[in-house]
């Protein structure tokens, strides 16, 4: 690498890896700021003009934001679950992807909290959830665990930042990063514990709504079955999301960053967990049909109004469930690069769909016999403010990729 072609910011770039010219990087970041700005405008509209700028209404107090929130958190499960596999189950190969999983996790959890900050009607009072906490509310559990877990993620992310070439030169950050690395198994364990609860509580959010037979589930102790199903579905899909984002990053970098065997481990585990999830979800569905029927809500009533026909059930469990599950379980398909991506995509889409169903469709189904069904679709403000976090996430990942030593196999796979 001759110094003339070295990027302007080469001093910050990890040693031994190649990055594009600074101007191209700047251009890319600038491009991301386009939609980001629209998202910021949408957010400011929500805060400045109140939530009437959305398509939410009294029948749909929850809309895209909440569905996206639950979906994003589930996708972010890759972070704690990879940590769990790496530090607690001690699957050593995963050390090559765990850093990236953490970054994706940080992005997801920050996005979830950010979206909630837009969604609530009085953001200035958002902290009342901690101050006046109601221990009976699933949302309280969610808030506490997510906030704590986000701090854990930050602590996991911190050593990566400290490992930046320029920071690492200093003794204190270097020592600090080292100690953090030492403590990582403990931190990961805390993260796993917290994540278990908030993923579950998110499932509890709809599951406890006994006024909404579509969402309500009986359960175990204080937790409805959705509590456990949400945990399982999150860990079945989180790794796939990590794979997906890794592949996208590889696509932009135009090189391999992680060895296939590492990816394959995640894909295999994902497939098995998805299989388990589908079995339990099927049992849950059958049981739910029986219990909802008892309170006067036959299955047909849930699927009587378009766009929420039976196709929803089939798509969620079949196309976005069984198909990716099979593709991930069979070695041949799993190891085919394109099919793997398809499977990961279907799996992630399934999670989003499930979270939408459990929040938005749960509210769409009329409960009072004389209720009128009304349809909801988000407007641009909701889309823009949600996607804002995608663009922000892309910026964080781009910066991290450029300046931090994330992919330990990059040098080996791409010798200069």
Partner 1 sequence: MKEAHHGEGDEKTYKFGMVIDLDKCTGCGACMVACMAENNISFRKDETDKLRSNFWMRVYKISNGLPFPDTEVSYIPRPCMHCEGYDHHHATPCVSVCPATVTDYNHETGIVSQIYTRCFGCRYCMAACPYHVRVFNWWDPRWPKGMEKYLNPDVSVRMRGVVEKCSFCFHRYQRAKNKAYAEGRRELREDEYQTACTQACPAGAITFGDLNDPHHKVYKLKKDPNAFRLLEKLGTNPKVYYVSTTDWVRKASDAYTGKQGEGVTPG
Partner 2 sequence: MKLDRRTFIELSVGFSVGAGTGILLSPVNWKLMDDMTIWSQELWPRYQLGGLKGQLPQRGEVTHVDSVCTLCPGGCGITVRKVGDRATKIEGRAGYPVNDGGICILGAAGLQLLYGPWRVPGPLRRAGQRGAGQWEQVSWEEAIAEAVKKLAALRGEGNAHTVACMLGSDRGTVPQLFARFMKAFGSPNLMRTATAEDTYELTLGLMQGVTSSVGYDLERANFILSFGSGLIEGWGSPVRVIKAHSIWRSANVKERATVVQIEPRLSNTAAKADRWYPINPGTEGALALGLAHVIIKESLYDDNFIRNHTFGFENGTDATGKGYMGFKRLVLTKYTPEAVSRMTGLSSSKIINLARAFARAKYPLAVWGRGKGTMPGSVYECMAVHALNALVGNINRPGGVWARPKVATQGWPEVSQDATAWTGYGMPRLDGAGTKRYPLTGHRPERLFQMASEKPGAVEALLVHEADPYYTTLDSQAVARAFENIPFVVSFSSYMDETAHHADLILPNHHYLERWEDCPTPVGLQKPLLGLLRPVVAPQFDTKHAGDTLMTIARALGGTIANAFPWEDYEGLLKETLADQWDTLEETGYVEQAGYTPPAWEQAFGTPSGKFEFYVSAFDQVGMTMRKDVGYLPHYEPVKPEGDAALYPLVLIPTDLMRLADGPVGNPPFCTKTLEETELKGNDLFVEVNPETAADHGLSEGQYATLETPKDTAKVLVHLFEGIMPGVIGIPKGLGHTGYDDYLAGKGVNANSLLGVVEDPISGLCATWGIRAKLTRV
- Chain residues binding partner 1 by CB under 8 A are 50-52, 56-62, 116, 119-123, 125-126, 128-129, 131-134, 136-140, 143, 205-206, 208-213, 294-298, 300-301, 304-305, 359, 362-363, 365-374
Q: Of 127 and 210, which has the nearer Cβ to partner 2?
A: 127
Instruction: Point out which span in 159-167, 328-336, 376-384, 387-395 binds partner 2 (CB under 8 A).
Output: 159-167
DSSP alpha helices (H): ranges in 208-259?
225-253
Residue listed under structure tokens 């060895």:
259
| Touching partner 2, residues 94-133 (CB under 8 A) | 122, 124-125, 127-128
Residue listed under structure tokens 């309280």:
140
Contact call for residue 8 and partner 2 (CB under 8 A): yes
Interface characters, 263-302, with partner 2 (x: CB under 8 A): ----------------------------------------
**Cβ-based neighbours of 206, under 8 Å, separated by 6 or more:** 212, 215, 216, 226, 358, 359, 362
Instruction: Point out which span in 5-13, 103-111, 265-273, 358-366 binds partner 2 (CB under 8 A).
Output: 5-13
Q: How far is the CB of 125 from partner 2 (least distance, A)?
A: 5
Q: How far is the CB of 36 from partner 1 (least distance, A)?
A: 25
Q: How far is the CB of 106 from partner 1 (least distance, A)?
A: 24
CA distances from 33 to 60, 67, 253, 392 (A): 31, 25, 20, 8
SS3 annotation, 218-229: CEECCEEHHHHH
Q: Of 214 and 403, which has the nearer Cβ to partner 2?
A: 403
Given 120, 167, 280, 349, the residue binding partner 2 (CB under 8 A): 167
Q: Which does 11 bind (CB under 5 to 8 A by kind): partner 1, partner 2, none?
A: partner 2
Q: Of 127 and 252, which has the nearer Cβ to partner 1?
A: 127
Q: Which does 368 bind (CB under 5 to 8 A by kind): partner 1, partner 2, none?
A: partner 1
Q: How far is the CB of 98 from partner 2 (least distance, A)?
A: 24
Q: How far is the CB of 66 from partner 1 (least distance, A)?
A: 9
Residue 220 carries which DSSP code?
Answer: E
Q: Phi/psi at 209 (nearest 5 deg)?
A: -75, 80
Asked if residue 54 lies in contact with residue 378, where contact means CB atoms within 8 angstroms, the answer is yes
Q: Of 35 and 117, which has the nearer Cβ to partner 1?
A: 117
3-state secondary structure of 227: helix
Q: Of 93 and 163, which has the nearer Cβ to partner 2?
A: 163
Q: Phi/psi at 219 (nearest 5 deg)?
A: -170, -150
Asked if residue 363 lies in contact with residue 212, where contact means CB atoms within 8 angstroms, the answer is yes
Q: Phi/psi at 220 (nearest 5 deg)?
A: -120, 125
Q: What tokens were used for 235?
A: 């860990």
Bridge partners of 224, per DSSP, are: 219
**Cα–Cα distance measured from residue 323 to residue 317, given in angstroms and rounded to the nearest whole number:** 9
Interface characters, 9-28, with partner 2 (x: CB under 8 A): x-xx----------------
Within a 13 Å sphere around the CA of 337, how many CA atoms are in the beta-carbon half?
A: 8
Contact call for residue 373 and partner 2 (CB under 8 A): no
Q: Of 36 and 205, which has the nearer Cβ to partner 1?
A: 205
Asked if residue 201 lies in contact with residue 135, where contact means CB atoms within 8 angstroms, the answer is no
Residue 371 carries which DSSP code?
Answer: P
Contact call for residue 166 and partner 2 (CB under 8 A): yes
Q: Which does 167 bind (CB under 5 to 8 A by kind): partner 2, partner 1, none?
A: partner 2
Ranges of beta strands (E only) in 107-222 are 219-220
Binding-site ranges for partner 2 (CB under 8 A):
8-9, 11-12, 122, 124-125, 127-128, 164, 166-167
């Amino acid at each position: 690498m001759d110094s003339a072609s070295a990027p302007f910011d080469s001093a910050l770039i990890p040693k031994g890896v190649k990055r594009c010219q600074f101007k191209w990087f700047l251009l890319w970041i600038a491009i991301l700021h386009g939609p980001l700005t629209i998202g910021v405008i949408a957010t400011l509209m929500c805060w400045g003009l109140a939530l009437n700028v959305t398509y939410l209404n009294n029948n749909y107090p929850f809309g895209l934001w909440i569905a996206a929130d639950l979906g994003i958190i589930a996708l972010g499960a890759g972070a704690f679950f990879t940590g769990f596999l790496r530090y607690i189950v001690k699957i050593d190969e995963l050390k090559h992807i765990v850093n990236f999983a953490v970054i994706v996790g940080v992005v997801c959890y920050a996005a979830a909290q950010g979206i909630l900050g837009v969604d609530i009607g009085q953001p200035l009072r958002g902290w009342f959830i901690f101050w006046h906490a109601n221990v009976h509310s699933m949302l309280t559990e969610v808030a506490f665990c997510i906030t704590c877990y986000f701090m854990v993620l930050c602590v996991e992310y911190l050593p990566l930042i400290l490992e930046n070439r320029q920071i690492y030169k200093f003794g204190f950050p270097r020592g600090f990063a080292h100690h953090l690395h030492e403590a990582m198994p403990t931190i990961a364990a805390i993260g796993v514990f917290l994540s278990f609860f908030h993923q579950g509580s998110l499932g509890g959010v709809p599951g406890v709504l006994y006024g909404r037979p579509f969402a309500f589930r009986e359960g175990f102790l204080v937790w409805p079955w959705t509590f456990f199903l949400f945990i399982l579905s999150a860990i079945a899909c989180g790794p796939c999301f990590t794979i997906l984002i890794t592949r996208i990053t590889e696509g932009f970098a135009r090189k391999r960053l992680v060895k296939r065997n590492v990816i394959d481990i995640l894909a295999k585990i994902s497939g098995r967990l998805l299989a388990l999830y589908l079995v339990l979800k099927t049992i849950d569905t059958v049981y739910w049909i029986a219990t909802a029927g008892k309170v006067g809500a036959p299955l047909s009533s849930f699927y009587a109004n378009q766009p929420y026909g039976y196709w929803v059930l089939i798509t969620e469990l079949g196309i976005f469930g069984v198909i990716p599950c099979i593709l991930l379980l069979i070695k041949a398909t799993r190891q085919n690069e394109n099919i793997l991506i398809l499977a990961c995509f279907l799996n992630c889409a399934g999670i989003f769909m499930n979270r939408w169903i459990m929040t938005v469709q749960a509210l769409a189904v009329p409960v009072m016999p004389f209720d009128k069904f009304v349809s909801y679709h988000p407007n641009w403000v909701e889309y823009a403010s949600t996607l804002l976090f995608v663009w922000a996430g892309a910026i964080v990942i781009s910066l991290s990729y450029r300046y931090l030593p994330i992919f330990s196999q990059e040098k080996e796979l791409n010798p200069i």
